[in-house]
Amino acid sequence: MIPTFVFRDSWEVAAAPSDVHDVLVDLEHYPDWWPQVVAVASLGPDDARVLCRSRLPYTLDLVLHAVNRSPGVLEVGVSGDLCGSVRFDLVPAPGGTRLDFAQEVRVPGWLGAASYVAGPLLRWNHDRMMRGCARGLRARLDSGHVG
């Protein structure tokens, strides 16, 4: 059985949903503002290869496929070191936008086998990555770099 991880989070930013959307769909610039995203390479209009590294000494190699880029929803399918989906729902909030984050991924291969023992450590690592996302996204939007 392949281990599955489900993550949910929510945070707010002081920017309009359209501005948040523009930053989030611009994958190629993620390394500019999200410290744990090491590199992004476009594989076509709907696909990108993304390398992520948080606190643990391992770089995740992921392929993202755009599923939904509508104004209020951003969703990608994930394959590679993780398999599943990641979704941001952008909800207008007083003073900006609430981002509701949902991720459900399976962890195949040796990393999946290790996750049976290291599950709490992997969750801790993911939490650090998402904190980097929230901080970096706020800074990017505050700086006026949209899209």
> pTM (2 decimals)?
0.91
Classify the C-alpha dihedral 12-27-106-89 as positive or negative. positive
Pick from 33-37, 53-57, 75-79, 85-89: least confident: 53-57
Q: Which two tokens stand for residue 37?
A: 């995203």
Judged by phi (left if over 0) then psi (alpha if -120 to 50, else beta), residue 80 lies in left
Q: Which two tokens stand for residue 44?
A: 């076509």
94 vs 114: CA distance, rounded Å: 43
User: How would residue 147 be classed by pLDDT, with cut points 50, 70 and 90?
Assistant: low
Cβ contact 33:138 at 8 Å: no
